Chains A and B, each alone.
Chain A
């Protein structure tokens, strides 16, 4: 009808699951491209984790005896991995809020792309980003004396569990990122929520030392079940409570946690995203 008609060269898959996946991967590509261009983000995320390793391995660690006399640094590292992964949701939150503030979300929303792509692209790229952080942290763990005492299968199972957890936490981050007004608030909320979750756990201390009322909370905490799972999988010291479901089935509980988090926060995030147009 007009001189400037639409382009005829449309990709074959426009819509449906394949279209959504393709659009999600393009958004993921965009998020990954940004990482080396804002190296400070990744560098400080790694430095923060290494600071925790150093603080607890050399400052507090000496004063925290393990009940069965295991090596504290070997006990610590799986906890640090889980903590880093949990904090990853803050990365998602900040990234999401930043995109909202910069108006790029409006550009995405004006394009004939899959509505889910902005969210799946964000969570997928954050899983890859976390995998990168894990590699650097594992290398620094090896430097302070952490080792995997089991085989490659158990090692990979542990890594898989960590990344699944990262994916689930990322969806919490998406929902939070779409719910807060500014990047600063996102950061504040992220850290206010994440510090108690990662500290009221078995990450830095054996839960046996906690008061009776706090102990069940710490033991059922998803960060704890994740930490216990990978300590078990990798043969690292795991002085968890002797009885109760968290002690007996940490892997199963972690998987349930992941499923519950996804079941709650994927719909919440998607709903929030749709609400932008209200």
Chain B
């Protein structure tokens, strides 16, 4: 990502902010046509998802707009049933939206789903690993299905077991793992193909405080490596700790968006201002967020602009 590109993005964004009609928080056509899509890792416009049962119709998503820049961490914060999981499932190709469109890593989530799957990783709130296989077998299998060669999948499995402190448990059947270990294995499975983009759906829900802190460390490590991350959580504290930008979702829409409130982080981010030549605004062109503090709220990444 070059500075020139970043500048282009900022200009487009500013124009969108000033030119766009943002009364209802929706991105107007002029704004979306100005946006340089190659700069955003995730772009979603007007996503609608309706779950129909025999008697009821639930609008899980009701025109959700979302943008996440390359290398950024977006925290999607909201209560149960707000539409967080549905958003993640649509962006990771598991669900088709009923309306709206979304691009992830430059791929359309519906039309280019298979291409998209080879650059993303997904870890959900329920550990989606096979509990009757060992940790190592799980990782090897997912590596193979990620189309790695067998030897490469084996090597990757060893690396991930080491990285997630599961090396000793690697040959045990997952059924014998604790909740925290399962969650770490699930996250490891999502990373098997070194994805550029990671979706974490409530990665610490149900974990004890110590496992939660451990998981936070792991996630921070991933972010330092430059992964673009979309994280959902029910906890403001967690979003504060991990995200560059927090988007509050309720009843299937983004109702607020802005930098985290954590003062320590803001201080740290301000301290690193000089390393970012062009700067980056994390306030979306939403009227609801105009009042939110603008400016830098980026995690002081070890990545240098331009890699």
Contacts and interface: CB of A to CB of B under 8 A. Distances in A.
Interface stretch (A31-39, A123-131, A142-150, A244-252): A31-39
B149 interface: yes
B118 to A, nearest CB: 4
Interface in B121-178: 121-122, 124, 126-133, 137, 141-142, 144-149, 152, 156, 173
B148 A110 contact: no
A109 B226 contact: no
B43 interface: no
Contact of B118 (A19, A106, A112): A112
Nearest to A15: B114
Interface in B62-120: 70-71, 92-96, 114-115, 117-120
Interface in A5-26: 5-7, 9-11, 14, 19, 23, 26
Contact of A30 (B126, B130, B146, B173): B130
B117 A111 contact: yes
| A interface bracket (residues with beta carbon within 8 Å of B) | 35 or more
A192 interface: no
A117 interface: yes
Nearest to A22: B144
Contacts of A107: 122, 128-129, 142, 189
B132 to A, nearest CB: 4
B3 interface: no
B227 A34 contact: no
Nearest to B146: A111
Given A103-B126, A107-B129, A23 B145 contact: yes
Interface residues of B, number: 48
B228 interface: yes
Contacts of A3: 225-226, 303, 307
A199 interface: no
A113 interface: yes
A104 B145 CA distance: 13
A33 B124 contact: no
A37 B132 contact: yes
Interface of B: 1, 70-71, 92-96, 114-115, 117-122, 124, 126-133, 137, 141-142, 144-149, 152, 156, 173, 189, 193-196, 225-228, 303, 307
Q: Which 10 A-B pairs have the closest CB atoms?
A: A3-B226, A107-B128, A112-B118, A103-B128, A112-B117, A113-B145, A34-B132, A110-B122, A2-B226, A9-B152
Given A7-B193, A37-B133, 8 more contacts: A4-B227, A7-B152, A7-B156, A7-B194, A107-B189, A111-B145, A112-B118, A278-B96
